[in-house]
Structure 1
Amino acid sequence: MAGEKTIRAGQCHCGAVRFEATLSDGFNSIRRCTCSYCRMRGAVVVMAEMGGIRFLAGEDALTSYRFHTGTAQHFFCSRCGIYTHHQRRSDTTLYAVNVACLDGVSPFDFPEVPVMDGVNHTNDTGQPTRRAGTLRFIPAD
C-alpha cells in the first residue's frame, strides 16, 4: 500500500554494523541506478527518510565515500566492505538502503526492479529523473 512505512532490521555481512531502517513507502521505492558507482556496486535499494536509519551497533565501523559533486555519501562497513546505504544526491532528505542488508530480504525477491538513469542525473540535466529500464529476475524452474 502506498504511503505505508515499514521498519526493517538490517546489518552488514560481518554483523559489525546493525541498524533499523524505516522505509518511507515500504518496498514501493525499490530501484537500481546506472551511474558509474551504482553500476559497479550493483545494489538494489529502497528509500528511508532522513532520520529513518537507527544504528543498533557499529555506527563507528562505517566509513564513507563521495565522488563527483560530493553530495551523495555512500556508507559501507570498514570491516567486511559491504555497502549498507547512502544519502541520495537528487534528494538529500532520503537515504537509499541496500535491500540485501535487510533481514529476510533478497534483491531476487523482486521480479522487476526499475532502473533509473543516473548517467544523465537530474541534478546535471535539470530534467526529471528518467527510467532507463527494468531489471528482471526470472527464477529457473
Structure 2
Amino acid sequence: MINGFKIDFGKFKVDLKVLGDLVILASAGLSVYYIVNTILNDYLDSTVKNKESEKKGSGVLKKIQASNPHLKEVSFNQYEKALLNSLVTPEEISVTFEDIGGLHDIIDELREAVILPLTEPEIVCSTPESYPVTKGGTGFYGPP
C-alpha cells in the first residue's frame, strides 16, 4: 500500500525519499569511482610509456654517441630527449633504392636533390651563385 511517499510491504516500510537519496548516492559513488579509476589508469599508462620511451631514447643516444664521440659532451633538453625515441639510426634502415620497383626518375631526383647535397656539399654548392634554387621543400611519405 502506498501512503504519501511511503510504501508498506507488511513488515517493511520504505520511504521513497530515502530510496531516491540512496540511488543518487550510489550512482554518484560509482561515477566518482569510474572517473578516478580512468584518471589514474591514464596517468599510470603515460608514466609507464614515458619510462619506456626514456629507456629506448637512451639506447638510441648511446648508439649515436658510439658512432659520433663528439656528441658525448652535448647535453639535451627534455624535448630533444623525447624526440630521441622516434629517431631512426642508419643501422635500423634495411630498405634500399634497389628494393623500390620502378620510379627510377623519382629515385634519381631524390639522389640529386637530397642525398647528393648532404653527402657531397662541396660539389653541389662550391660558390654562392651555384646554390640550388628550390621551388619548395622535399616531402616524404611512408616509413624511412
Q: What's the TM-score once normalised by structure 1's chain length?
A: 0.21
When Rg is computed on C-alpha atoms for both structures, the one with the higher figure is 2
Structure having greater relative contact order (Cα 8 Å, sep ≥ 6)? 1
Q: Which has the larger share of strand?
A: 1
Q: Which has the larger share of helix?
A: 2
Q: What's the TM-score once normalised by structure 2's chain length?
A: 0.21
